[in-house]
């Protein structure tokens, strides 16, 4: 493995899945990209110590896990607004807060992840959706690592303990505590959400959702929401806990006569964290083109939207989209 080109050929096929692993551990697309590079750098520097007793894939996961643990030791956990306090009510402009927010992950980056040596799928939708990632953030770093290695990657206890440089008993104890915390933090009706490949019903709902936003029609949006729907909007800590609050907020931001009107929206369907989502562009008052605004993930249950998670921090480049949507270009 001494030649640089041979090394790159050997490890490059694992880049996407290592990046997804780092994302699960860290909750940030940018951090995952950085730690993937750090993993390959550490692997290159330590290549002479690779003896072939484990596969290259296992070796890279072990390096990546410990690189992530080094980062987590000095950084706070990533959060979502609904983890910070109770729901509120809209009342004019909301101030953004600089916190380590959890970030969404584009499905276009998931598609490049290779299967493992057995041909098994390494990115199941249950372990990449936003609710799962949010629950993972509650786990201390080593518990998080133990759970991801055992329950996501399917590693045996002995291999997990070796990766974490601990005993099998300690690794199993960390796993059991992590599973207990996850049971408390995951939504009770998670299995009923619409996930995976989009259905015809979901596609039709997305079209109606986009039309309602582009028409600036809060009442039309309301007809698509469950009465207990929730909406979060990082980097804003205020979040809404029911349909009425969401519609009041939209009325303030969509009405051209409102002093709080943000402008007009254009949207296109995308996918993020194996969930339906929309990429959003905003034309602010007195501007000509629609400019990138962010990505909103939707949770759908029984044909209605039960949760909206709008991320202004998401970058257009991560979704392979342009920064502007000129007014003359059709949807």
Q: What is the pLDDT along the chain (331 residues), one digit of tens a residue?
A: 556 667 777 788 899 999 999 999 999 999 999 999 999 999 989 877 776 667 889 999 999 999 999 999 999 999 999 999 999 998 877 889 999 999 999 999 987 665 555 444 455 667 899 999 999 999 999 999 999 999 999 999 999 999 999 999 999 999 999 999 999 998 876 665 545 567 888 899 999 999 999 999 999 999 999 999 999 999 999 999 999 999 999 999 999 988 889 999 999 999 999 999 999 999 998 888 999 999 999 999 889 999 999 999 899 999 999 999 877 676 6
What does the buried/exposed string (b/e) look like for 39-49 if buried means 16 or more CB atoms within 10 Å of the residue's CB? bbebbeeebee
Provide the pLDDT for residue 115.
53
Nearest to 175 by CA among 194, 148, 211: 148
Within 8 A by CB and 6+ apart from 80, the residues are: 101, 102, 134, 232, 234, 309
Give the ranges where 88-149 is alpha helix by DSSP (H): 107-110, 130-136, 141-147
d(CA 327, CA 288): 7
| Strand 304-311 to 275-283 pairing | unpaired
| Strand 304-311 to 225-233 pairing | parallel
Phi-psi region of 268 (alpha: psi -120 to 50; beta: other; left: phi over 0): beta
Residue linked to tokens 């786990």: 139
d(CA 19, CA 113): 9
Q: Please report, for residues 235, 282, 292, the alpha-carbon distance to residue 79 in angstroms, rounded to integers and kept in the order given.
A: 10, 25, 23
- Using CB atoms within 10 Å of the CB of residue 73, give its burial: 0 to 12 exposed, 13 to 18 middle, 19+ buried: exposed
Q: Please report, for residues 124, 127, 184, the alpha-carbon distance to residue 152 in angstroms, rounded to integers and kept in the order given.
A: 8, 7, 18
- Using CB atoms within 10 Å of the CB of residue 53, give its burial: 0 to 12 exposed, 13 to 18 middle, 19+ buried: exposed
d(CA 309, CA 288): 27
Nearest to 314 by CA among 68, 108, 123: 108
Provide the pLDDT for residue 201.
87
Residue 275 near residue 112, CB atoms below 8 Å: no
Provide the pLDDT for residue 246.
97
Provide the pLDDT for residue 189.
67
Q: Phi/psi at 100 (nearest 5 deg)?
A: -75, 85
d(CA 51, CA 259): 66
Is the whole model's pTM more than 0.75, yes or no?
yes
Q: Phi/psi at 226 (nearest 5 deg)?
A: -70, 150
Provide the pLDDT for residue 48.
77
d(CA 293, CA 285): 14
């Amino acid at each position: 493995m001494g030649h640089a080109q041979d090394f790159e050929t050997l490890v490059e096929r694992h880049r996407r899945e290592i990046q997804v692993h780092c994302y699960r551990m860290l909750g940030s697309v940018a951090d995952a990209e950085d730690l993937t590079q750090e993993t390959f750098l550490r692997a290159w520097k330590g290549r002479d110590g690779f003896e072939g007793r484990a596969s290259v894939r296992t070796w890279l996961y072990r390096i990546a896990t410990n690189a992530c643990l080094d980062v987590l030791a000095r950084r706070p956990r990533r959060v979502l607004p609904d983890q910070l306090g109770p729901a509120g009510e809209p009342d004019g402009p909301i101030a953004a807060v600089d916190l380590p927010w959890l970030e969404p992950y584009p499905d276009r980056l998931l598609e490049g992840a290779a299967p493992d040596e057995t041909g098994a799928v390494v990115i199941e939708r249950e372990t990449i959706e936003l609710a799962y990632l949010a629950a993972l953030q509650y786990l201390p770093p080593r518990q998080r690592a133990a759970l991801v290695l055992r329950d996501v990657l399917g590693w045996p206890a002995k291999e997990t303990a070796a990766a974490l440089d601990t005993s099998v008993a300690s690794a199993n104890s960390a796993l059991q505590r992590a599973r207990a915390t996850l049971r408390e933090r995951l939504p009770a009706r998670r299995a009923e959400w619409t996930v995976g490949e989009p259905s015809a019903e979901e596609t039709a709902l997305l079209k109606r959702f986009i039309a309602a936003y582009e028409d600036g029609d809060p009442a039309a949006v309301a007809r698509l929401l469950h009465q207990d729907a929730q909406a979060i909007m990082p980097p804003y800590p205020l979040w809404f806990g029911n349909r009425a609050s969401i519609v009041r907020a939209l009325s303030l931001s969509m009405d051209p006569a409102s002093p709080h009107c943000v402008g007009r929206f254009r949207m296109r369907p995308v996918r993020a964290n194996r969930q339906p989502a929309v990429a959003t562009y905003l034309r602010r008052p007195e501007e000509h083109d629609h400019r990138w605004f962010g990505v909103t993930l939707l949770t759908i249950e029984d044909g209605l939207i039960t949760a909206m998670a709008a991320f202004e921090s998401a970058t257009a480049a991560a979704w392979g989209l342009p920064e502007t949507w000129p007014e003359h270009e059709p949807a």
